[in-house]
Amino acid sequence: MHGISRRGLLKTGAAAGVLGLTGMPLRAQTRGGKLTAGLSGANTSDSWDGRTHSDLFMIASAHGTVFDCLTEVAADGSLKGELAESWEASADAKTWTFNLRQGVTFHNGKAFGADDVIESLQMHVAEGAKSAAQPIVAAISEMKKVTDFQVQFTLENGNADFPYLMSDYHLLMFPAGQIEEGIAQGIGTGLYQVQSFDPGVRMVATRFPDHYKGDSVGLFDEVEYIAINDNTARMNALMTGQVDAINRIDFKTEALLRANPALRIQEVTGNQHYTFAMLTDNAPFDDVNVRRALKYGINRQEMVDKILLGHGQVGNDTPIGPASQYYHAEMEQLEYDPDKSKFYLQEAGLDSLNIDISASNAAFEGAVDAAQLFQASAAAGGINLNVVQEPADGYWSNVWLKKPFSAVYWSGRATEDWMFSTAYEAGVPWNDSQWDENDSARFQELLITARAELDSAKRQEQYFEMQQILRDDGGVLVPMFANYVQAVNNRISSPDTVGNLWQMDNARMAERWSVA
């Protein structure tokens, strides 16, 4: 159902299992050597300032290589400590105490401690600062240094996901009192220290000796990330062996990469999803029957096959994807069914429906094609969609959140609460379906209770119910989750489980991969 690549993944998994039984090493753990990666998302305006990071090149360079956060999401999605050793919460999930790792030093020799944590987090709420992680830090009402290696955070409202949020790639730990130098030279506590950094061109870092993470990770002597924003150039560089790994392969030329025996393709389904959002306070989308008619009028599998060329998974109208802890995989899948579309239109008292759908390739690659596929499939159910091709420039300010029905992409969030409170909580600015109490009071209530719930069984129940509500009544169509697809030279070995939170093993290839 998910295409050859997923089957391929399963097969390799099975083969690995057999190897495991026979006692053969699954992969060589060679120390030394160099990793050269060609990555997109680089800009001449890039800097080491974590507040500005938004694309892969800097996330891989800073978060994945040179800097550390308090916590880290492992490849299997579980949370583990990075600069924090352990943490505990009060019963209402409002007060969090983090015990920091001792004996850690920054690349300039300064010792790491509680002051660094507090100052690094305060950067994000500084006067005039424009940090994407500002809401996370702003939710902390007090940061208290208990000892040199213990910090206590008091939150305005209980949040069971707080340790998860601390793994966010913006929240890098800089040396206190030297934050400016830290930003200028890239001084972190990560496995590798910066040798040279040319914004928008390349980044070279070498292994930091005696690192607290030990000798089992960060096996390269040196890593070099080369900025290659052009798809074809990136592929050429991999094909001619000038780089060992590239992110975001072009699906149209994927067959050529597969035909090359020296390369392998890594594919993971994460939380990145493409949507069509309806403003539910506008007619006719305020009628839940109209929304349901549209849900049955979209052919999800066809979109995965034709828009993502098979590199994805069908969505079920919730933004919670397979990379999430409480992903409701057993929920009944919405299928294309024009008869049900007609039925719900009748329920809404309509014979047919004429609506505009706004799309542009700024929303996601292929959004206009996707809208046209939707137009064709919905027609059978009596819905006449008129595809309005919007200009790419200004799409996010003039179309998204303004036009009643528009195409959108979301890279997804690490936790359910984060995703919901970004785009589904009543009143938040990015709520692109105007989803609020009028649509589902139960949803908004669950959102608040689940946030502070520390019992994970109860939480699961609550998040499953929320996903069910969105699937049945929600104002956002989520037809597909797009895979992260990357290619690696067989010279480099990577673990069997590759992170699916971000591209390139959660951008941590320098830490987790090695020379084969």
Partner 1 sequence: MGNVLTIILQRLALGLLTLLIVSIVIFVAVNLLPGNFAEAILGQGATPDAIASIERDLGLDQPLVTRYFQWLGGVLRGDLGTSFAQANFASFSGTTSGATTIAEQIAPRFGNTMFLAMITAAIAVPFSIILGILAALYRNTVFDRATNIFTLTSISSPEFFLAYILILFLAVLNPIFPSLSNIFEGMPFSERVEKSMLPALTLTLVVTAHMMRMTRAAIINLLASPYIEMARLKGLSPMRVIVKHALPNALAPIINVIALNLAYLITGVVVVEVVFVYPGIGQLFVDSVKIRDIPVVQACCLIFATAFILLNLTADIMSILSNPRLRHPK
Residue entry with tokens 């206590």: 152
Task: Give me the torsion for CA of 107, 113, 115, 119, rounded to 10°.
Answer: 50
Q: Which is nearer to partner 1, 56 or 228 (CB)?
A: 228
Residues 209-238 that bind partner 1 (CB under 8 A): 226-230, 232-233, 236-237
Stretch binding partner 1 (CB under 8 A), from 86-94, 276-284, 395-403, 436-444: 395-403
Q: Are 489 and 244 in contact (CB under 8 A)?
A: yes
Length of the chain counted residue by residue: 516
Applying CB under 8 A, does 132 fall inside the site for partner 1?
Answer: yes
Which is closer to partner 1, CB of 400 or CB of 405? Answer: 400
Question: Interface residues for partner 1 in 255-294 (CB under 8 A)?
Answer: none
Quote the tokens at residue 37.
Answer: 């990666």
Stretch that binds partner 1, among 141-149, 207-215, 377-385, 386-394 (CB under 8 A): 386-394
**H or E segment at 257?**
helix 254-259
Q: How far is the CB of 252 from partner 1 (least distance, A)?
A: 14
Q: Is 427 near partner 1 (CB under 8 A)?
A: no
202 binds partner 1 (CB under 8 A): yes
Contacts (CB under 8 A) with partner 1, residues 36-65: 38, 43-45, 47, 49, 51-52, 54
Binding to partner 1 by residue 252, rule CB under 8 A? Answer: no
Helix (H) or strand (E) holding 196: strand 192-198
Shortest Å, Cβ 123 to partner 1: 7
| Interface residue with partner 1, options 92, 148, 156, 198 (CB under 8 A) | 198
The single residue among 129, 217, 355, 448 that binds partner 1, judged by CB under 8 A, is: 129
Q: Which stretch binds partner 1 (CB under 8 A): 62-70, 102-110, 239-247, 507-515?
A: 239-247
Contacts 24+ apart (CB under 8 A), 438-447: 438/280, 438/281, 439/280, 439/288, 439/473, 439/475, 440/469, 440/473, 442/469, 443/469, 443/470, 447/417, 447/420, 447/421
Q: What is the DSSP string of 268-337?
A: EEEEEEEEEEE-TTSTTTTSHHHHHHHHHH--HHHHHHHTSTT-EEE--S-S--TTSTT--TTSPPP---
Residue 196 binds partner 1, judged by CB under 8 A: yes
Q: Does 179 bind partner 1 (CB under 8 A)?
A: yes
Beta strands in 352-455 (DSSP E): 353-359, 383-389, 405-410
Query: Which among 90, 146, 79, 151 is positioned nearest to 121, based on CA atoms?
Result: 151
Which stretches of the chain bind partner 1, using CB under 8 A?
38, 43-45, 47, 49, 51-52, 54, 123, 126, 128-132, 179-181, 183-184, 196, 198-202, 226-230, 232-233, 236-237, 239-243, 391, 393-394, 396-397, 400, 429-430
